[in-house]
Amino acid sequence: MEEVNALLQGFGVALSPLNLLLMFVGVILGIIIGVLPGLGGANGVAILLPLTFSMAQQPGGTTSAIILLSCIYWGALFGGAITSILFNIPGEPWSVATTFDGHPLAQLGRAGSALTAAFTSSFFGALVAVIMITFLSPVVAGFALRFGPPEFFSVYLLTFCAFVGMSGGNAAKTIASMMIGFALAAVGLDSVTGTLRLTFGSTSLLKGFDFLIAVIGLFGIGEILETLEEGLAFKGASARINFKVVLETWKELPRYWATSLRSAAVGCFMGIVPGGATPASFMSYGLARRLSKDGNDFGSGKVEGVVAPETAAHAAGTSALLPMITLGVPGSPTAAVLLGGLLIWGLQPGPLLFVEKPDFVWGLIASMYLGNIAGLIVVLTCVPLFAAILRIPFSIIAPVIIVICAIGAYTVHNSMFDVYLMVAFGVLGYAFKKLGYPLAPMVLALVLGDRAEENFRNAIKGSQGDLTVFFSNGLVGGLTSFALLLLFWPLIRAGWRVVLGKS
C-alpha cells in the first residue's frame, strides 16, 4: 500500500490551483493540436517545450511543466477522435481505425453517440493504463536499480528490435530509418573522446541535430505537405452532443465490457513494448470484429467498432509513459519528446527518479488521473467549438501552422539554422511517409542515440571489447535474447507456418 500513500501525496502536488489550471490549459491546447492537420501530440509538445524552460527553473516548476506537457498529450489523444468521426480525417495515426465505424455512425446521424463512445472508451483505456502505471512502475523502477550499462543497452536493444519485429511493415525501411536517427544523433562533439564526428568543418553542426527540430519538421511540415496533396476542403458532419445522447450512449456502453477490457489489455501491452498506439488500435479493432456477435456488421457504424480502437489507442498512449519514467526508454514519439523535456530540465529519467524525485514522479502519475478526467469533461462539453476549428479554410490555417512550427523550431536554441533544418526535415518526412518508411524509429533513435551509445561503450569497456558481456548473466542475457527473438519474430513466424503447413 506504499504506492497508495505515495499517490495521495502526488494528488496533493497535482491539486494545487496552478497545476489544475495548467491541466485544463494543456488539455484544451492538446485537443486543438489533435484536431489541426500538421500538428499532433509529438510536434505539439515539441513546439511548446521551449516555453516551459523558464517555468521549470522555479521550485516545483518541473512538476508543473510535465503536467502541462503531458496534459497536451492526453488532449491530443482525445482530439484525434473528433476529426476521425466527424470529418473522416484521422487527426492522428492511431485514430485511423476509429474512422471505420465512427464516420459511418456520424453519417447515420449518430455523431453524438460515436463521439461519446470514443471519449468514454478513451478515458477508460487511459484509466486502466494509469492504474497499471501506479502499481507496476515502482516495481519496474526497483528492478531497474540493479541495472548496469550492459542491462541498459540491452533494454535499448529490446526497444529497437521490437520496432523491427513488431511493426509489420518493411523491416529494411524500419532499420534504415532507425539507423539514420542514430547517425544524426552521433553528429557533433563526442562527449567521451572530444572528437568531432560527421561535422565536416561546419560550425552549425557542432551542436548536433536536436530531435525537437526533427520532430517539428518530420511530423509538422511533412504532414502539411501530405494533407495538401489530398485536397484542401474539409467536409464534416455536424457536431452536437446533448446530455440525453451522452446518457443513452453510457447506458449502451456496459454491453461492450468484454471488448473494452480486451482492448485495454492490448493497448497496455503494446504501449509498454514500443509497438505503439497505432498498431494497438488496429489490432483491437480486428479482434473485436472477429470476436463480436455482430462482427460482420462492423464498418457500417457500430458503437463497438469505435470502442475497441479508442480504448486501445488511449491505453497504449498512456502506458508508453511507463518505460519512459522507469527506464528512460520512451514507448512512443510523444513520450520521447517528454523524455527530452526531462533531460533539458535537468532530470535524469530512469529508476533513480523514483528515489530522488518522488514528488515529481507521483505528481505526474496523479496528474494522469486528473488530466484524463479534465479531458473527458472538456471534450464532452466543447466538441462543437473544436470541430469549428477545422472549418477554418486551409489557406489560412496551413500558413499559420507553418509559422507556429517555425517559431517552435527557432525557440529551441534561438537559432535560425534550426528553422532551415526544420524545412529540410519536412521534405524528408513527406518523402519517407509516402514511401512507407516509419518515422517513429528515427525519432526514438535520435533521442536515445547518445545514451544507447554511452551504455554500449561503458559495457564493452568493462568487458574489454568482449560482446558476450550482453549474455554475461541471467538478466542481461534474458533481455538480449528477448530482443533477438523480437527482431527475428517475422522470420520465426514464417518458418513456423512452413513447418505447420508441411505436417
Partner 1 sequence: MEKGEQGSAASVKAVEIGVAVVIFLFGALVVFDSYRVGAKWGDDGPQAGYFPLYVGLLICFASATIFVRAFRNSALAAESFVSRDELKKILTVLVPTVVYVSLIAYLGFYVASTLYIAYFMWHLGKYAWIKIAPVSIGVSVAFFLIFEIWFSVPLPKGPLEAALGLN
- Enumerate binding residues for partner 1 (CB under 8 A): 50-51, 54, 170, 172-173, 175-176, 179-180, 182-183, 186, 190, 192-193, 195-198, 200, 221, 224-225, 228-229, 232, 393-396, 398-400, 402-403, 406-407, 410-411, 414, 416, 419-420, 422-423, 426-427, 430-432, 434-435, 453, 456-457, 460-461, 465
CB of 30 to partner 1, least distance (A): 17
CB of 241 to partner 1, least distance (A): 29
The secondary structure element, H or E, covering residue 370 is helix 358-389
Task: Pick between residue 100 and residue 182 the one whose CB is nearest to partner 1.
Answer: 182
Closest Cα to residue 28, out of 334, 399, 376? 376
Q: How many helices (H) does the chain have, and how many strands (E)?
A: 23, 2
CB of 416 to partner 1, least distance (A): 6
Only one residue has cell 496533396, namely 229
CA–CA separation, 458 vs 464, rounded Å?
10
CA 151 remoteness from chain centre: 24
Task: Pick between residue 51 and residue 291 the one whose CB is nearest to partner 1.
Answer: 51
Only one residue has cell 509489420, namely 168
CB of 333 to partner 1, least distance (A): 20
Task: Pick between residue 177 and residue 281 the one whose CB is nearest to partner 1.
Answer: 177
3-class secondary structure, 197: strand
The secondary structure element, H or E, covering residue 491 is helix 489-502
The secondary structure element, H or E, covering residue 239 is none
CB of 134 to partner 1, least distance (A): 33
CB of 268 to partner 1, least distance (A): 31
CB of 485 to partner 1, least distance (A): 19
Which three cell numbers mark 320? 508508453
Start-to-end CA span in the chain (Å): 52
Which three cell numbers mark 121? 472508451
CB of 439 to partner 1, least distance (A): 14
**Within 13 Å of residue 69, how many CA atoms lie on the same side as its CB?**
32
Closest Cα to residue 223, out of 83, 105, 122, 317? 83
Task: Pick between residue 30 and residue 375 the one whose CB is nearest to partner 1.
Answer: 30
CB 119 within 8 A of CB 144: no
CB of 230 to partner 1, least distance (A): 9
Which three cell numbers mark 252? 449502451
Task: Pick between residue 192 and residue 258 the one whose CB is nearest to partner 1.
Answer: 192
Task: Pick between residue 4 and residue 18 the one whose CB is nearest to partner 1.
Answer: 18
Task: Pick between residue 332 and residue 455 the one whose CB is nearest to partner 1.
Answer: 455
Task: Pick between residue 140 and residue 423 the one whose CB is nearest to partner 1.
Answer: 423
Task: Pick between residue 301 and residue 426 the one whose CB is nearest to partner 1.
Answer: 426
DSSP notation for 279-324: HHHHHHHHHHHHHSTTGGGTTS--HHHHHHHHHHHHHHHHHTHHHH
